[in-house]
Each structure stands twice: as C-alpha cells, then as structure tokens.
Amino acid sequence: MQYRATQDNHFDAVLRCLALLSAVGCFGTIAFYVTEDWTLWRCLYFTLITITTVGYGDLGVSPLGEGVAALLLLCGIGTFTYSLSTLVQIATDEEGARRRKMRRNIEDCNDHIIVCGYGRMGRAICAELNHDGVACVVIEHHDPGVQLAHEDGQLVLQGRASDDDVLRSAGVQRARGVVCAVDSDAENMFITVTARQLNNHCLVVARAETAESARKLKHAGATTTVSPHEMAGRSAASALLRPHLTRIMSGDDMEGQFELGEAAVHERSTLVGQTVQEFGCEADNVVFVAIRRVCGRIMVRPRGSDQFESGDIIIFAGSHQDAQLVQERAGYSNTVMA
C-alpha cells in the first residue's frame, strides 16, 4: 500500500536522523570529556559548535582534542547537514501533510461505505451516496483514479482493496458496507472474501460481468451483485415500454421530488407501536409501499391500522424531505428521550 509505505518511510527517516545526530553528539561529548579537562556541558557545547560550523575558537583544546575535532569536522558536519535537510524536507512536505490529514479523517469515519474502484461506476456510486449524506472511503489502485477521487473531494487510499491492511486502513471493521466496483470479476471475488472475513456483518455489493460470476460472488459472501450492462439494458427497455413511469422514478417530471427509500425501525424508535395511519398524519405525502417484519413476512401496501414494530424494514415513496423524516423517526439517535 503506497500510503502506508510513505508514512513508514517518513517515520523511519525521522528516527534515522535523530539516531545519527544523537550518535554524533554523544561521540563528541564523550571524546572531549576523555581528552580534555572539561565538564560534560562544555564537551557537549564544543561538539555542537563544531558540527554546526559556528566555531567560537578552540577553547584551549589539546592536540588529542584537535584530532577529535578534526574527526567531527569530517564526519559530524556531513551527518548534521544530511539530518537537518531531511527533517526540513519532511516537515515541509505538503503531500505528506495531506496524506496524514486524509488518514486522520478516515480514522474518524464510522458507519461509512467503502467503494473499491473509482471508475465510472464507482464515481457514480460515491456521488449518489454523498447526495444522501453518507460518507465514502475510496480505495483505488491506479494513479488517474486516485487523482480523480482527490479532485472530487473523496477520502481515498491508494492500494489494492483485496489487501487486508488496505481494507483495515479504510475502516472496514466500522463500515456499513463495501462496494466491489473494480473492472475484474476475479479481483471483486478477492475483495468480497477479504471484506467478509474482516467484517461479517457489513453489506457487500459486488459488480459482476456475467451470471456465473454473480453466482460465485454470492457464494463467496456478497450480499448483492449488480451487472452494469444488465442494469443498463433493463433501464433502456423500461424507458421504451414504460416511459412515464421511468420519468417519474428518475425525477425528471417532478424535479427530484419523488424517490423510493427504506428505513429500519430501531427498537427504541418512537415509531414502535404507532400505526401507519397515525404516522401518515405527520407525513401525509409519504406512501408506504411495504413493511418487512423481522420474521421475514412482507406486508405489501400496509393498512392504516398496521403498527410498526422493532426491527421492521419500511419501504416507502415520497420526496427527499419525507425520506429524511422517515429516517429520523425510524432511528434512535434523533428521537426525543424522556
């Protein structure tokens, strides 16, 4: 992983420079302490003014001490110059500072989505997730994709998403889901297996080019598989056969005021025990399409007297504002505590 390798190289360089400076300082101090009748502080002081080429005189140094000083001039000055220039370069490295900031931001992510591959599909997924307020972490191996993700303002790591360390650095243990969107079924297979091993509870959506690949990906642990070509074909056919429905579903005729959504009812949500009709009075523009109970039973077009229960999955249709209201009421973090 290039990002981690750069971080490790900088850390090793800093340690190396500090070790070299300490070694030169200790050598000069001890050597002058042995050859001269000086205190430790005076020995260290003379060592420092020697390797920094400040030079305030020889301070009455003996012939043996002159030999030590000559050795410091030959070796110590070069070591000091190399170490100082290296430390300054690291401190003023804007790219390194940007990567460190990126790493801190990724470490702060929680309940986010990891998007593996920033091609056309990965970019579209991130745009849609960002529109819904969901944080994304992109893993991209190729330089052009990494640069494009940076330009789009995404959190991005460079490396192979099938690498355990890369997925861990992206916070897979804290992630809500992983999207395998690289253009290789084999690579998506490896990513799926790795992600499932590191987080058995997250959703894994994998791109599949063929039906056979989709079957294998599901067997490997993918929650859902998608085929870009198949989805594009279905969308084109739907636009031809059901043009008005397609325009409504895409928001073309309603200026983005219609969308399908889903929400999981938290056990401490204020929706628990409330009927569909009672909630409908608060959000009269929401249409409840179906409710999936914990037992697996699906209630299509629920009646007004049906009550919401803990663990329900609500499928609904409405505006973006309606969708946000349902999400807030179904969750627990935004509910009012007594």
Task: Specify the pLDDT at position 7.
Answer: 56
Q: Where in the chain is the domain with CATH 1.10.287.70?
A: 2-92
Residue type, 283: A
Topology of domain 109-231 in CATH is Rossmann fold (3.40.50)
Whether residue 114 is predicted with pLDDT greater than 90 in this model: the reply is yes
Return the higher-pLDDT residue of 59 and 309: 309
Choose the CATH number for 2-92 among 1.10.10.10, 1.10.1740.10, 1.10.287.70, 1.10.260.40.
1.10.287.70
- Whole-structure pTM over 0.85, yes or no? no
Mean pLDDT computed over 51-63: 74
Q: Which of 53, 87, 59, 86 is nearest to 72 (CA)?
A: 53
Pick from 38-47, 128-137, 187-196 the range whose average pLDDT is largest: 187-196
Q: Where in the chain is the domain with CATH 3.40.50.720?
A: 109-231
Choice among 3-7, 59-63, 155-159, 168-172 with the minimum mean pLDDT: 3-7
Residue 154 burial (10 A CB sphere; 0-12, 13-18, 19+) = buried
CATH code, residues 256-330: 3.30.70.1450
Residue 127 tokens read as 């745009």
Residue 248 tokens read as 């409504």
Mean pLDDT computed over 80-106: 76
Task: Specify the pLDDT at position 203.
Answer: 93
Element (H, E) at 256: none
Name the pLDDT band for 95 (thresholds 50, 70, 90): low
198 contacts: CB under 8 Å, gap ≥ 6: 164, 167, 168, 172, 173
Whether residue 336 is predicted with pLDDT greater than 80 in this model: the reply is no
Mean pLDDT computed over 231-255: 75
Return the higher-pLDDT residue of 288 and 245: 288
DSSP 255: T
In whole angstroms, what is the distance from residue 228 CA to residue 120 CA?
A: 10
Task: Specify the pLDDT at position 333.
Answer: 44
Q: Where in the chain is the domain with CATH 3.30.70.1450?
A: 256-330
Whether residue 8 is predicted with pLDDT greater than 60 in this model: the reply is no
